[in-house]
Structure 1
Amino acid sequence: MSLPPPGTADDRAVGVLLGAACGDALGVPYEFRPPLREDEAPEMAGGGLGPYAPGEYSDDTQMAVCIAETLRDHDDPVSPEALAATARAFLRWRNEGATDIGNQTARVLGDAEHAWRTDGVARVMAEGAAKLYASGAPSAGNGSLMRTGPLALAYLDDPRGLAAAARRYSDLTHGDPLAGEACVLWCEGVRHAVVHVDLGGVRAGLDLLPADRRDAWSGWLDEAESRPPHAFGDNGFVVRALQAAWSAVSREGGFASALASAVRAGNDTDTVAAIAGALLGARWGAGAIPEEYVSAVHGWPGYRAGGLADLALAVARRHA
């Protein structure tokens, strides 16, 4: 398997999906276990909640793949047809490939299953998520943030279009606006990194949020930059998940060290590392991912590193 030349836009595009998958698989063995010490290096040892094989990624990447395949196959990511394809892919994944699934996502997908073969399946799913949020049930989990990174590859020249798409794809399962706002910021961070080769996009993404939401998120980013990832232990909550990932990414100088730092956040380690990995891969490129990660990573529905690379490039090229 050959990856694109290091330092190229293609290298960074591949890094988005491959970086997320490697972060996911690296975090799998440590999920909900005591946090690793600073002198402990995480390994793709498998096990975890699955249990998973060494190098196998979990629901974070499995759902990201569902989105990426839709983006590969549809010209307009927010068309009714594309959203329906994604909703159906989520339902197929739930029934055929889900090795783990968050409580919120499981409830929304279960309630939408009756609409699987209808054209309105995405609408039914999003309405169910909105209803759950309106009921007062916690609806700001990290389950949409973990999967939306590939959207950036379909909007590399269109930050406002990306922000709108990030919200739509988040809303499929997460009715709380906090989840959509987190997706907007992180997707813009990924997009900006692929195009501009720096990490300035997360802060630039504040301008894509409603004006009355920017100060809160700016403060949360400030906090993340001043504290280590493990300070945000309640990272099943989307704000804390983003803070833990941003703490790791913004405080470390390269792909491998930052990804290890994300795993050391503890608690939902695979998700925090998958979120961080998408942005790290976008910034540093697939060529910066350690070879032992690239050779080991794999998961549903049968992708290895080469397949993930091909999928990411197909998305970016279709929407160029």
Structure 2
Amino acid sequence: MNLPPPGSADDRAAGVLLGAACGDALGVPYEFGPALAADHVPRMVGGGLGPYAPGEYSDDTQMAVCVALTLRDHADPLSDEALCRTADAFLDWARDGASDIGNQTSAVMRGSGHAFGTPRVAEVMARFSAQRFEEGVRSAGNGSLMRTGPLALAYLDDPDGLAVAADRYSRLTHGDPLASEACVLWCEGVRHAVVHGDTAGVRGGLELLPRDRRGRWSAWLDEAEEHPPHFFGNNGFVVSALQAAWSAVVGEPDGFVPAVRAAVRAGNDTDTVAAIAGALLGARWGASAIPAEYLEAVHGWPGYRAEGLAELALGAVSGPDGSRGRRRGGPPA
């Protein structure tokens, strides 16, 4: 398999999508089940809600692929064209590719499908999402956090720009600011990990949040560091999903595999928590740290296997003309 050199920035960039996809596929068989025993070894045996083939990833990575394709093909992820491309890709996926889909995302797809292919599709989608939140519909699910990690790849030198993009892409489907704030924190964690090779960026991302929100999120991160992943069993909620993923990452600091397995053991929305954790872990440890058995098995819509996911991630770094990517292939900055 043709992957970037171990320890390189490209290795860590490729690890973002590969880590998410492998975490997703590892969690699929256990979705909505109870927390697993500490000695249980999760395996990519398929099944789940699909039912999925062994190694097949679910909606978490499917939607992340939609985002990554936009980043690869558009120089400015915040342009109207890029946002509409993403919204159209979500609608196309929901109609023809979704193996399962969360309640919030499904409602938004139904409510904005009439705008498919128009120059207003992203605006219509975001407005519908905002309206649901304003009407009191619970809109802080984990469905935007699970997919926004690839955004970091387009903003490796621009944390402020990444924060704006994470917010905008989250609001396409999730009008609750909590979902956007979670995406800002996690995307900054992913960006920092690709560039520097550590996970300090999650806490560093607090500075990118509104000042009056930083204390609340800092306390939630503290709580995650004090408890095991299964403590946050209501992990369909975006805050609990981030806490469960962060608990797994900080609780198993010595490699990709122990931490992604810990994320799966949290129970309930196992594929999503492991996909969220996997994106950060892949950015921290690189694609080279993911076991060959995972890389050989992982696959999914619309036909990607490991090497294709790695190429897509690197394409998201460089953009359509190759000019966006910096620090490519070099050591940690």
Q: Which bracket does the TM-score occupy, shorter chain normalised?
A: over 0.9
| Structure 1 counterpart of 2:262 | 261
| Structure 2 counterpart of 1:54 | 54
Residue 245 (structure 1) shift: 0.1
Q: Which runs of 4+ in 1 moved over 4 A?
A: none
| TM-score computed with the length of structure 1 as normaliser | 1.00
| Structure 2 counterpart of 1:287 | 288
Residue 33 (structure 1) shift: 1.2
| Structure 2 counterpart of 1:154 | 154
2:308 matches 1:300: no
Separation in structure 2 between the aligned mates of residue 278 and residue 316 of structure 1, nearest angstrom: 15
- Name the SS of the counterpart of 2:98 in structure 1: coil
| TM-score computed with the length of structure 2 as normaliser | 0.96
Separation in structure 2 between the aligned mates of residue 298 and residue 188 of structure 1, nearest angstrom: 26
1:77-108 deviations in Å (ceiling 9; x for gaps): 01000000000000000011100100000001
| Structure 2 counterpart of 1:34 | 34
| Structure 1 counterpart of 2:63 | 63
Separation in structure 2 between the aligned mates of residue 194 and residue 206 of structure 1, nearest angstrom: 18
Separation in structure 1 between the aligned mates of residue 29 and residue 117 of structure 2, nearest angstrom: 36
The 5 Å alignment of 1:65-84 reads 65-84=65-84
- Name the SS of the counterpart of 2:41 in structure 1: coil
The 5 Å alignment of 1:1-320 reads 1-252=1-252, 253-318=254-319, 319-320=324-325
Separation in structure 2 between the aligned mates of residue 35 and residue 43 of structure 1, nearest angstrom: 15
Residue 222 (structure 1) shift: 0.1
Separation in structure 1 between the aligned mates of residue 247 and residue 195 of structure 2, nearest angstrom: 22
Separation in structure 2 between the aligned mates of residue 222 and residue 315 of structure 1, nearest angstrom: 32
Runs of 5+ consecutive residues of structure 1 not aligned to the other structure:
none
Q: Which amino acid aligns with 2:128?
A: G
- Name the SS of the counterpart of 2:50 in structure 1: coil
| Structure 1 counterpart of 2:330 | none
Separation in structure 2 between the aligned mates of residue 35 and residue 99 of structure 1, nearest angstrom: 23
Sequence identity (%): 73
Residue 243 (structure 1) shift: 0.0
Residue 216 (structure 1) shift: 0.2
Separation in structure 2 between the aligned mates of residue 172 and residue 33 of structure 1, nearest angstrom: 29
Separation in structure 2 between the aligned mates of residue 154 and residue 30 of structure 1, nearest angstrom: 32
Residue 2 (structure 1) shift: 1.4
Residue 276 (structure 1) shift: 0.1
**Structure 1 vs Structure 2 CA RMSD:** 0.5
Residue 251 (structure 1) shift: 1.1
1:248-305 deviations in Å (ceiling 9; x for gaps): 0011121000000000010000000000000000000000001100000000000000
1:17-64 deviations in Å (ceiling 9; x for gaps): 000000000000000112211111000000001100000000000000
- Name the SS of the counterpart of 2:184 in structure 1: helix
- Name the SS of the counterpart of 2:185 in structure 1: helix
Separation in structure 2 between the aligned mates of residue 142 and residue 314 of structure 1, nearest angstrom: 26
Separation in structure 1 between the aligned mates of residue 10 and residue 101 of structure 2, nearest angstrom: 31
Residue 115 (structure 1) shift: 0.3
- Name the SS of the counterpart of 2:178 in structure 1: helix
Separation in structure 2 between the aligned mates of residue 217 and residue 35 of structure 1, nearest angstrom: 25
Separation in structure 2 between the aligned mates of residue 171 and residue 272 of structure 1, nearest angstrom: 20
Residue 8 (structure 1) shift: 0.1
- Name the SS of the counterpart of 1:118 in structure 2: coil
Separation in structure 2 between the aligned mates of residue 13 and residue 286 of structure 1, nearest angstrom: 8
Separation in structure 2 between the aligned mates of residue 132 and residue 158 of structure 1, nearest angstrom: 31
Q: Which amino acid aligns with 1:58?
A: S
- Name the SS of the counterpart of 1:122 in structure 2: helix
Separation in structure 2 between the aligned mates of residue 248 and residue 34 of structure 1, nearest angstrom: 16
| Structure 1 counterpart of 2:331 | none
Q: Which amino acid aligns with 2:115?
A: A
1:113-162 deviations in Å (ceiling 9; x for gaps): 00002100000000000000001010000000000000000000000000
Q: Which amino acid aligns with 2:317?
A: A
